[in-house]
């Protein structure tokens, strides 16, 4: 048995889409399930017109942020390089195998233009027939081909497919798939600019890099029979296929950057943690054997089983990701958490307040880092608010009750000399008992008075501690004036 070798082969055409990142993750997990498995990064830049400057760095940065360390690749080297397709093209690899297929009668030189193909398609559609391209150039003699090439006519190299019979292959997710050869169009292998197509380069590179397991999206299911015909023509072993269902925006639309859906970079910029994103997307289309949802990358390597990948698309639920991100923040090492949230607190709070104490009250309540500024905006400035905020059925309060509670709280606060959590807690609890009310009847109005908000990252005691005696009393006076 060969050691498992998987590859992630993105095109440097922009940000890292969530579907692409999930493919990288699954390829990594398949490789690392085998203790000697290798995960390879290959940059597929054959579509020169779509390349975006800096996109390759985005690929490197994303894999690094997610701790998906590749064993071979353009930046780390390896025995099967180069790992960038345009560099491999300079070695003549793709031309060599394309011409070998031509000599074997498994491919041919084609002079047809896009206009020629369009005309054929229009004729087929006018007859109500499905369009499968069959190239008339296959009828040209070698002398005619040589003459046209000599005259400088642009050409492509196109695959030959016998329309008779069927082609079958096994997929780990979708099982046995069989297609009629008559439904397969003859795909271009080498373009007129000399670059291989994505489809052809994949086959050549996967073989030469000894890739054992190909992990990719199920949109490639329809192309796989054509790939296999090339493998068979060249006498090469076919890899194990693992086609993954799409990540969906809703029941009808795939998640797509073109539709304005978030990329990995967008999510990180909004304050989602890479490890939380990775954990969440692992569960989009794959179900673990255990009934649990939180997995470290190491735990995913142990738990992952391709047989538990679903065949139907999974809907990307941002609320579920938000919840999971909150779990990661709450479970985070405290020093790491402080380092992470401190820049957000500094941007949101300019007043002389204890940032450590603020970080502490945030930890149990924040779900994404970008929420922090809005959660803390009341520290520097108490905004105007409506007294309807004091009405809370659960806490059994209303403006009239709040006025009474705040009057009593003010008297208590004025007497407290040691302004700390324990003293404030004891004082407010004892006061509620003396008044014969539940703690919430007293503490909820205090919290609203201090923040001007119905929801805050801390309760009345925590906010009082951070704001200090003078500011807390000032805000209670403002509240009492509102409630007159």
Active-site positions read 257
Question: Which structure tokens are listed for 385?
Answer: 């608010």
CA-closest candidate to residue 440, choices 404, 405, 484, 481: 405
**What does residue 418 show for φ and ψ, rounded to 5 degrees?**
-95, 100
For residue 400, what are its two tokens? 């009239």
3-class SS of residue 444: helix
C-alpha to C-alpha distance for 219 and 295, rounded to whole angstroms: 28
Return d(Cα 461, Cα 439) in angstroms, integer.
11
Q: How many CA atoms lie within 13 A of 417 on its CB side?
A: 0
Token pair of 305, please?
A: 């089983």
Burial of 420 (0-12, 13-18, 19+ CB in 10 A): exposed
Neighbouring residues of 301: CB distance < 8 A, sequence distance ≥ 6: 29, 32, 33
CB distance 99 to 196 below 8 Å:
no
Q: Which residues pair with 138 in a beta bridge?
A: none
**Sheet containing strand 240-244, strands side by side:** 38-41, 5-8, 213-217, 240-244, 166-171, 175-180
Collapsed DSSP state (helix, strand, coil) of residue 51: coil
Q: What does the alpha-carbon distance between residue 323 and residue 331 come to, in Å, rounded to a whole number?
A: 13
Q: Burial, 281: exposed, middle or buried (Cβ in 10 Å; 0-12, 13-18, 19+)?
A: buried
Q: CA dihedral in degrees (207, 86, 10, 109; nearest 10)?
A: -60
């Amino acid at each position: 048995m060969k050691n498992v070798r998987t590859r992630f082969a993105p095109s440097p055409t922009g940000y890292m889409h969530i579907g692409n990142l999930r493919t990288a993750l699954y390829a990594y997990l398949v490789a690392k399930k085998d203790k000697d498995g290798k995960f390879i990064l290959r940059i597929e830049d054959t579509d020169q017109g779509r390349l975006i400057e800096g996109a390759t760095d985005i690929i490197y940065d994303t894999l690094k942020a997610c701790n998906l360390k590749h064993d071979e690749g353009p930046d780390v080297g390896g025995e099967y390089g180069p790992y960038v397709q345009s560099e491999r093209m300079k070695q003549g690899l793709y031309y060599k195998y394309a011409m070998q297929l031509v000599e074997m009668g498994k491919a041919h030189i084609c002079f047809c233009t896009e206009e020629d193909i369009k005309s054929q398609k229009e004729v087929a559609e006018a007859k109500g027939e499905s369009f499968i391209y069959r190239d008339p150039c296959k009828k040209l003699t070698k002398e005619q081909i040589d003459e046209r090439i000599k005259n400088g006519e642009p050409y492509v190299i196109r695959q030959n497919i016998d329309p008779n019979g069927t082609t079958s292959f096994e997929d780990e997710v979708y099982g046995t798939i069989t297609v009629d050869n008559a439904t397969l169009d003859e795909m271009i292998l080498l373009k007129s600019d000399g670059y291989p197509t994505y489809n052809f380069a994949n086959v050549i590179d996967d073989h030469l890099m000894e890739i054992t397991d190909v992990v990719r999206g199920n949109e490639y299911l329809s192309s796989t029979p054509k790939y296999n015909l090339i493998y068979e023509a060249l006498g090469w072993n076919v890899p194990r296929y693992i086609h993954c269902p799409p990540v969906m925006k809703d029941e009808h639309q795939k998640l797509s950057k073109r539709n304005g859906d978030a990329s990995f970079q967008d999510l990180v910029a909004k304050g989602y943690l890479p490890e939380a994103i990775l954990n969440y997307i692992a569960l989009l289309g794959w179900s673990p054997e255990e009934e649990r949802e939180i997995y470290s990358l190491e735990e995913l390597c142990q738990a992952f089983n391709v047989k538990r990948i679903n065949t139907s698309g999974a809907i990307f639920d941002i609320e579920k990701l938000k919840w999971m991100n909150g779990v990661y923040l709450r479970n985070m090492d405290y020093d790491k958490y402080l380092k992470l949230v401190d820049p957000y607190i500094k941007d949101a709070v300019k007043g002389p307040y204890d940032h450590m104490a603020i970080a502490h009250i945030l930890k149990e309540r924040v779900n994404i880092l970008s929420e922090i500024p809005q959660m803390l905006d009341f520290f520097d400035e108490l905004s105007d608010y409506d007294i309807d905020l004091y009405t809370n059925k659960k806490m059994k309060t209303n403006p009239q009750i709040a006025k009474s509670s705040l009057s009593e709280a003010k008297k208590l606060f004025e007497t407290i000399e040691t302004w700390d959590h324990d003293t404030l807690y004891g004082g407010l609890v004892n006061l509620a008992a003396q008044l014969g009310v539940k703690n919430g009847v007293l503490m909820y109005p205090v919290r609203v008075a201090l923040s001007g908000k119905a929801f805050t990252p801390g309760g009345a005691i925590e906010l009082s501690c951070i704001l200090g005696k003078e500011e807390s009393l000032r805000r209670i006076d403002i509240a009492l004036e509102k409630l007159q």
